[in-house]
Structure 1
Amino acid sequence: MKASHLFLFLGLLFWSDLFPQTAILEGVILNESQEPVEDVNLFTNEGLGTRSNKNGFYRLELPAGKKINISLSHLSYGKITFAVLLSPGETLEFNPILKVGNEQIEEVIISSEELENVRGITVLQPETIRNIPGANAGVENLLKTLPGVSSNNELSTQYSVRGGNYDENLVYVNGIEVYRPFLVRSGQQEGLSFVNPDLVRNVHFSAGGFQAKYGDKLSSVLDITYRRPVDFGITIDAGFLGANISSEGISKNKKFTYLTGLRYRDNSLFVKAKQTETNFRPRFADAQTNLTYQFSDKLELSFLGNISLNVYDYEPKTRQTNFGTVQDPKALLIYYTGQEEDRYRTWFGATKASYVVNENYTTHFILSAYNTLEQEYFDIIAAYRLGEVNTDVAGENFGNVEYSEAVGGQLTHARNKLDALILNAEHKGSYKINTHQFDYGIKFTHEDIRDRIREYEIIDSAGFSIRPPLPDFQKNEPYEPFEAPLVPYRSIRAFNETRINRVQAFLQWSKRGKIGNHETWTNAGLRSNFWNLDAPPATNSEIVFSPRAQFAIKPDWKPDMVFRISGGVYHQPPFYREFRDFNGNLNPEVEAQRALHLVLGHDYSFRMYSRPFKLTSEIYYKDISKVNPYTLENVRIRYAAENNAEAYAYGLDLRLNGEFVPGTESWLSFGYLKTEENIEEKGFIARPTDQRLKFGLLFQDYVPKVPDLKMYLNLVYNTGLPGGSPAYADPYLYQSRLPDYRRADLGLSYILKNGNSETSFKWFRSFKEVSVGFEIFNIFDTQNSITNTFVRDVYTRVQYAVPNYLTPRVFNLKLGLKL
């Protein structure tokens, strides 16, 4: 790292003291008849206060990170006293009900994180998600700063957790499972995450050992809850990368609420800065809405809908990639002709009915549908030169390719189309008996998939076709002619019609109690999953059972500590892609992959410099059987469609979060991971996601004399992943690693107008908040690589791994408006 870069980083990291950050408590105050109560006085022990309006709505800005006592009073109702403890930037919705003549005193501190900490769930603040800079900003961008979560592709929303692959992570929005496209093979094609950060209220994340109520995956759970509007509002964000607009509102009778978001993104800014010169404009757009209607205090109906369109038009021109060593520099120079046209269209809709039978029993009924239409069409011809680079710094040809060791051409062709329809019907319930809680659920899923694959690749060098170096294709070209007929270097042709029916069910029990003076929390549950695959002429069925348990204890000690142990059996029934092998053919005999989790955790909350901090530590072990091996092509996963391997993963996760700067939440993360697999008893080798070391930093700061000027720093360091292998090759012969991944993104924002403050800009006077931002992606212009392109020099019989580099330093401007 250059000295100037080091000083810049240290200067950012140790920015001077700031003003404390705040949190928001808001909601609607109702009486026992569910009518809004006007002119309720709210006041705190900090001298802060407000009053509810004619709709019963109140909004109170509070200091974050400490316990605040709040009192509600009204001449016609009894007084309410309670306490809250909110995190920096958090917005908590609290809707109290006033009773006539009775004073209500609540001793329990209202905190959104209290129970989640005991369960081993990480809670992330929505405001942090919206502010932290990143090439693909959103929830996943923040997850990548956590220990145990890895990704070496800033253009991708996909992430690996504790050695698992991208297909092993569950994502829920409002308790509804969501899906992602099938055919995407490059982070440049992905576009927008399903989760719209402008609509988010709560973000909960578990990296392993999660409860039985969550579905059947091997690695993690991301559980998102969208906001419940309490007033009208519009938020607009625009920049060089696109624009977002969200709107929310509530009806006069408080029964109907709506939350809507529109997003458009254009990644041309990143693509134009890359090593390949192209005519390329990747465009992504989506519309999302969450509607709720409360028929009564017992019945509520909600709808979650999403429509997204990813358009990826790609016409490459030239590329030069320099690689090798200082002593032996190499370069790959390519001239392209042809183009690629990809389309990914998805529709998702879910209706959820929630019914409160009584104060102890609540039920939910969910119907959802997901449809994706995807196409990948490309014909690209590449003429390449592989040669030596001029290293004479003083010469006119410095950096140019002077001597060609190999020349050749490559033709890649695809006509891939996929149509997938997934239907779900689900019933869930929760029943409380004193300190016991029982949760149950049953879910039916029907998957109907039509998939056509037409791909081939031909490589030609100096007039002859390069064949895979397999025993059946021994040759001594160019000294001896190779007279076999020319065939595609790699060809995949398949058409699959697949229907899969699944029935899932779970039952779990949890209890908060005490052992002596020590607080405890216990959870135990069982999941069952049955599925039947119908892919004429073959069918197959399987049923699995997954017991899981958690136990946590908070000792009655002066140090504030929590100890946790969790684990169980986790199955991953094969999804469509896991049935499909490298040649596109389905193997209906594929069974569920199975993992045994054991997680030991410890939380230590303490105060340092009169500010709150927490150190979270977890060690974990996963024993995985019936493994379905896979390879990674950028972000596309290709499965062997065989349960012919076993694997393991173990590691350590550490996270220190707290107010490094007064009133702001920042954290440092460290993760160590080792994961290996043994394919067909050949011995253990690194899995494609074997990310050994991971460091993450998220840092927030203010300027002392200008509190509206804020800084956000997002830094990630990962050791290199395995570099992959050619499509035809034995992975045991290719165990090299990519270079380490290093990335730092910086965001600066300034609030021009906040609340009722005055501004000299006439256009902004009608807005509640106006902010401007400046972002620097990849501050130090680090040259990270995602995969290797393998090029063979026939004359020397050497195969080179040419790195495919990611985005360089890029600048972005943003404007934010709130009505």
Structure 2
Amino acid sequence: MSAHQFVSVFFLFLATLTLSAQTARVRGVILDKNKQPVENVNVSCLNVISQSNSNGFYDLKIPANQKVVVVFTHISLKKITMSFTFNANEQKEFNPVMSDQEEQMGEVIVSAKNRKITQGVTTIEPEIIRKIPGANAGIENILKSLPGVNSNNELSTQYAVRGGNYDENLVYVNEIEVYRPFLIRSGQQEGLSFTNTDLVQNVDFSAGGFQAKFGDKLSSVLDITYRKPIQFGASLEASFLGGSVAVDAVSKDKKWSAVTGIRYRNNSLLVNSQETQTNFTPSFADIQTNINYQSSARWQWSFLGNISQNKYQFQPLTRQTNFGTISNPLALTVFYQGQEKDKYDTYFGAIKTTFNVSDNFTLKFIGSAFHTLEQEYFDIFAQYRLGEVDASIGSETFGEVSFTRGIGSQLNHARNDLDALIVNTEIKGFHDWKESQIEWGIKYTRESIRDRVIEWEVIDSAGFSLNPPIIDLPRNDQPYSPYTGPLIPFQNIRATNFNTINRFSGYAQWSLKSLIGSSEVWYNAGVRMHNWEVQGAATASRSQTTFSPRAQFAIKPNWDRDMLFRFSGGFYHQPPFYRELRDAAGMVQPNTKAQQSIHFVLANDFSFKMWSRPFKLVSELYYKSLTDVNTYTIDNVRLRYAANNNATAFAQGLDLRLNGEFVPGTESWISFGYLKTEENSNDRGFIARPTDQRLKFALLFQDYMPNIPSIKLYLNLVYNTGLPGGSPSYTDPYLYQNRLNDYRRVDVGFSKVFIDNTSGEIKNKLFKDFKELAIGLEIFNLFNNQNAITNTWVRDVYSKNQYAIPNFMTTRVFNIKLTAKL
């Protein structure tokens, strides 16, 4: 069977669909002055004619790479003439409003956007990011709807990709690597993502097999570009969860431009819906700016700055968790005293300059600094009662604890402080050489970190203090014999680390677009180098170096069907960052090795038409073989590493994503992912890794009312099978391979658009300067599913049993949101 026939059979269910031509397209919904859809509007460009349907929807192909005129005519409405300039395969949504009084003329120029389909990069439109609802809305909220990307904590912006963990993802803004605070351990302590959605122009995401020009991580790359404004503008968003303001500014001579955003967030609405009753006073705020200066036709400068302050005060009061089975229901009731006070202040600044030496040679210089001051202080005393629940229907005590199996208490204490300064300098070059492109870069990073860790936990059950099992103490058979040994905290971590890490890294890569016969092909090959040394640790460190060769190949056969095949892979190393150097006892292990992955990705993009609208099916099959693995445990969103590189691992899976216009004029998608990732420590055999999320299904859907297109619907649905539930302290993880329940969540949003930027003349003078104005209702966790993030392990001193008590996330929450643009 030929390759052509094989693919045809694989996509048999789509065999009858017509093909999507590789041309630029303009489509949208045509309205009248009363905002009603207009049918039978002739839309023409050169010799191509289309017509709007009963919903006012039209779709027209137009020539690319040239200025063309599109004409909208109707038997009873005035003509609209618009000029468009498109690049190849570009798409534009244009929603005209036809009037019976005057003709309209205008011009739309669509800037070039590299879809990067040959690199296996997913491009996400900023408007989708802003509109789709989520408890922690933003770019990360949309990423969780993609195949291969998993998270079961809606309060966190952290995500895992194809079996990796939260520390294995690269994030760039304007080619500048950005960082997160170090000490955050709970999703509810994360108020804001670094990325300000109001400032975003373009978002690219790669789930693996990425090029050498990106940094040294094992899992993914999120590459974000902030916009360069061309005129004054402003936007506002306000809701029960906080608000944001963004302003675009441009100088009269057009040389200076700036986009600035201020955000504030308060998660009380979400946290108060959890099972733990608290006094919760969070405060998350930041200000961010991107300033651009065009000093000459060849020389550009920009500054990216961010100041963020997160204050988190948490005073738990009570908690009751019901678990077990219908026939054997159990309950954990906890009464708390004490509080937690955390503070995370971060400061970030970067200067970037781009100099076009010639038409074929470009140089870039980037300098950045990141400073974080973090403190984590808490003293929380918890008294718990574990008991059986009365399940007799009709009983006066139905649902209450009828028999107590165990009682106990625990006291948790922490005084953790961290001060980190990270400085980067980097030079990049880009050359057009004959038919090829050559890119290279050299980077120096200095990380200066001062860290103090003081954490301890005392556990008492039925009046008897529990000692840790790893310490050899006198025999303790209370209450039959008195215990005379010392009282020792069940967990006790004390460490002070002053470290400096110097890193030198660089890359070089080559790209070429060519032909094999009548088929288009793309080649990319490159290599990265990374050298680092840890200084200041108690143990003398050695300099370590890694080399990471990578390659990509893509081919677009000259077939009737619109298909693209990609193969990418190579060696991917992750030299340890500070958190990976610190072991479970809080001590830095300076000779921790870089984790290594050999990664292969085989992919297919199939573009087609269904219901006369464009769709694309992306399929990716991947395999990772990992060595020198630094094993870890997950507690909410905090990772604790062993820092001993004593394991091997693998990750394998299949990702599928179908996206297109399920509803005319809107983009939606369906995602499916299968993942299996396991690790083998000290040759004991393979067990599930903490991120082993086997099946994933997600749906992101946009819709509008056919007769009232100003009323919008946004749906975000995610289903994940359960993650491993972890194990109690000091126990063998090989003996605890239980899993959390499946994660199911639906967030839905309804929006009424009063004004949008294509609605024509605004009659109300009060709103004459508005481009957009909308109000929406959001419902988080629509079906009120109980989703667990981790387990709390409770010990019964009598039966010696360990009970896994799920820590549930947020319940159903309602939110109202107002958005406006000037």
Any conservation in 2 of the 1:136–1:154 contact (CA below 8 Å)?
yes
In structure 2, the residue corresponding to 1:707 is in which secondary structure?
coil
Which residue of structure 1 lines up, in the alignment, with residue 583 of structure 2? Answer: 581
After superposition, residues 272-287 of structure 1 pair within 5 angstroms as 272-287=272-287
Which residue of structure 2 lines up, in the alignment, with residue 424 of structure 1? Answer: 424
Question: Which region of structure 1 is more displaced relative to structure 2, 428-437 or 397-406?
Answer: 397-406
Distance, in Å, in 2 between the alignment partners of 1:284 and 1:268 is 11
Distance, in Å, in 2 between the alignment partners of 1:90 and 1:526 is 43
Any conservation in 2 of the 1:300–1:353 contact (CA below 8 Å)?
yes
After superposition, residues 76-225 of structure 1 pair within 5 angstroms as 83=87, 85-87=89-91, 112-114=113-115, 116-225=116-225
Which residue of structure 1 lines up, in the alignment, with residue 401 of structure 2? Answer: 401
After superposition, residues 252-331 of structure 1 pair within 5 angstroms as 252-331=252-331
Distance, in Å, in 2 between the alignment partners of 1:424 and 1:226 is 20
Q: CA deviation at 1:348?
A: 0.5
Letter matched to residue 776 of structure 1: I
1:611 aligns with 2:613: yes
Deviation digits for residues 522-581 of structure 1 (CA, Å, limit 9, x no counterpart):
000010000011024423210110000000000011100001100000000011111111
Deviation digits for residues 297-341 of structure 1 (CA, Å, limit 9, x no counterpart):
100000000111111100011100111111111111011110000
After superposition, residues 584-663 of structure 1 pair within 5 angstroms as 584-663=586-665
Q: CA deviation at 1:790?
A: 0.3
Which residue of structure 2 lines up, in the alignment, with residue 539 of structure 1? Answer: 541
Letter matched to residue 702 of structure 1: Y
Change (3 A) 1:64 1:430: farther
Change (3 A) 1:445 1:22: farther
Which residue of structure 1 lines up, in the alignment, with residue 36 of structure 2? Answer: none
Which residue of structure 1 lines up, in the alignment, with residue 8 of structure 2? Answer: none
Distance, in Å, in 2 between the alignment partners of 1:65 and 1:629 is 54
TM, length-normalised to structure 2 = 0.88
Any conservation in 2 of the 1:303–1:349 contact (CA below 8 Å)?
yes
Change (3 A) 1:289 1:471: closer
Which residue of structure 2 lines up, in the alignment, with residue 27 of structure 1? Answer: none
Any conservation in 2 of the 1:65–1:87 contact (CA below 8 Å)?
no
Q: CA deviation at 1:759?
A: 6.7
In structure 1, the residue corresponding to 2:183 is in which secondary structure?
coil
Which residue of structure 2 lines up, in the alignment, with residue 489 of structure 1? Answer: 490
Which residue of structure 2 lines up, in the alignment, with residue 554 of structure 1? Answer: 556
Tell me which of 799, 804, 808 is aligned to 2:807: 804
Distance, in Å, in 2 between the alignment partners of 1:735 and 1:45 is 65
Distance, in Å, in 2 between the alignment partners of 1:471 and 1:634 is 27
In structure 1, the residue corresponding to 2:458 is in which secondary structure?
strand
Change (3 A) 1:530 1:290: same
Q: CA deviation at 1:252?
A: 1.2
Q: CA deviation at 1:433?
A: 1.5
Change (3 A) 1:750 1:64: farther
In structure 2, the residue corresponding to 1:183 is in which secondary structure?
coil
Q: CA deviation at 1:125?
A: 0.6
Which residue of structure 2 lines up, in the alignment, with residue 99 of structure 1? Answer: none
After superposition, residues 325-404 of structure 1 pair within 5 angstroms as 325-404=325-404
Q: CA deviation at 1:483?
A: 2.9
Letter matched to residue 202 of structure 2: N
Distance, in Å, in 2 between the alignment partners of 1:694 and 1:262 is 35
Letter matched to residue 519 of structure 2: H
Distance, in Å, in 2 between the alignment partners of 1:164 and 1:451 is 26
Any conservation in 1 of the 2:27–2:93 contact (CA below 8 Å)?
no
Any conservation in 2 of the 1:85–1:111 contact (CA below 8 Å)?
no
Deviation digits for residues 418-462 of structure 1 (CA, Å, limit 9, x no counterpart):
000000000001000232000000000000000000000001112
Deviation digits for residues 214-248 of structure 1 (CA, Å, limit 9, x no counterpart):
00000000000111101100000000000011000
In structure 1, the residue corresponding to 2:709 is in which secondary structure?
strand
Any conservation in 2 of the 1:534–1:540 contact (CA below 8 Å)?
no
Which residue of structure 2 lines up, in the alignment, with residue 784 of structure 1? Answer: 787
List alignment gaps of at least 5 residues for structure 2.
Answer: 1-25, 31-43, 50-56, 70-82, 96-108
Deviation digits for residues 730-749 of structure 1 (CA, Å, limit 9, x no counterpart):
21121100000000100111
Distance, in Å, in 1 between the alignment partners of 2:412 and 2:477 is 26
Distance, in Å, in 2 between the alignment partners of 1:20 and 1:67 is 11
In structure 1, the residue corresponding to 2:702 is in which secondary structure?
strand
Letter matched to residue 174 of structure 2: N
1:71 aligns with 2:67: yes
Distance, in Å, in 2 between the alignment partners of 1:276 and 1:65 is 55
Deviation digits for residues 459-501 of structure 1 (CA, Å, limit 9, x no counterpart):
1112211234458466433334333211111000000000000
Q: CA deviation at 1:388?
A: 1.0
Any conservation in 2 of the 1:299–1:355 contact (CA below 8 Å)?
yes
1:773 aligns with 2:769: no
Distance, in Å, in 2 between the alignment partners of 1:22 and 1:365 is 44
Deviation digits for residues 588-646 of structure 1 (CA, Å, limit 9, x no counterpart):
12011100001101111001111111110010110000000000010000000101000
Any conservation in 2 of the 1:551–1:566 contact (CA below 8 Å)?
yes
Which residue of structure 1 lines up, in the alignment, with residue 458 of structure 2? Answer: 458
Q: CA deviation at 1:401?
A: 1.6
What is the RMSD computed on CA atoms of the aligned residues? 2.3
Which residue of structure 2 lines up, in the alignment, with residue 244 of structure 1? Answer: 244
Distance, in Å, in 1 between the alignment partners of 2:226 and 2:393 is 57
Distance, in Å, in 2 between the alignment partners of 1:374 and 1:545 is 34
Distance, in Å, in 2 between the alignment partners of 1:402 and 1:581 is 43
Letter matched to residue 166 of structure 1: Y
After superposition, residues 686-725 of structure 1 pair within 5 angstroms as 686-725=688-727
Deviation digits for residues 254-305 of structure 1 (CA, Å, limit 9, x no counterpart):
1111001111000000111110111002221111100000000100000000
In structure 2, the residue corresponding to 1:540 is in which secondary structure?
coil
Which residue of structure 2 lines up, in the alignment, with residue 441 of structure 1? Answer: 441
Q: CA deviation at 1:520?
A: 0.5
Distance, in Å, in 1 between the alignment partners of 2:527 and 2:716 is 39
Distance, in Å, in 1 between the alignment partners of 2:193 and 2:479 is 50
Change (3 A) 1:764 1:391: farther
Distance, in Å, in 1 between the alignment partners of 2:720 and 2:93 is 28
1:529 aligns with 2:525: no
Distance, in Å, in 2 between the alignment partners of 1:230 and 1:393 is 68
Distance, in Å, in 2 between the alignment partners of 1:777 and 1:81 is 40
Question: Which region of structure 1 is more displaced relative to structure 2, 147-156 or 756-765?
Answer: 756-765
Which residue of structure 2 lines up, in the alignment, with residue 476 of structure 1? Answer: 477
Any conservation in 2 of the 1:272–1:278 contact (CA below 8 Å)?
yes
Which residue of structure 2 lines up, in the alignment, with residue 105 of structure 1? Answer: none
In structure 1, the residue corresponding to 2:542 is in which secondary structure?
strand
Tell me which of 664, 667, 671 is aligned to 1:665: 667
Any conservation in 2 of the 1:354–1:362 contact (CA below 8 Å)?
yes
Tell me which of 810, 814, 818 is aligned to 2:817: 814
Distance, in Å, in 1 between the alignment partners of 2:59 and 2:550 is 36
Letter matched to residue 180 of structure 1: R
Any conservation in 2 of the 1:67–1:85 contact (CA below 8 Å)?
no
Q: CA deviation at 1:82?
A: 5.5
Letter matched to residue 208 of structure 1: G
Any conservation in 2 of the 1:88–1:663 contact (CA below 8 Å)?
no
Number of equivalences: 747
Deviation digits for residues 626-672 of structure 1 (CA, Å, limit 9, x no counterpart):
00000001000000010100000000000011111111111111000
Letter matched to residue 523 of structure 1: N
Letter matched to residue 425 of structure 1: T
Distance, in Å, in 2 between the alignment partners of 1:466 and 1:346 is 39
Tell me which of 672, 679, 682 is aligned to 2:681: 679
Distance, in Å, in 2 between the alignment partners of 1:45 and 1:233 is 35
Change (3 A) 1:313 1:65: farther
Change (3 A) 1:289 1:109: closer
Distance, in Å, in 1 between the alignment partners of 2:735 and 2:247 is 54
Which residue of structure 2 lines up, in the alignment, with residue 736 of structure 1? Answer: 738
Q: CA deviation at 1:148?
A: 0.5
In structure 1, the residue corresponding to 2:710 is in which secondary structure?
strand
Change (3 A) 1:759 1:779: farther
Letter matched to residue 600 of structure 1: L
TM, length-normalised to structure 1 = 0.88
Any conservation in 1 of the 2:27–2:60 contact (CA below 8 Å)?
no
Change (3 A) 1:46 1:398: farther
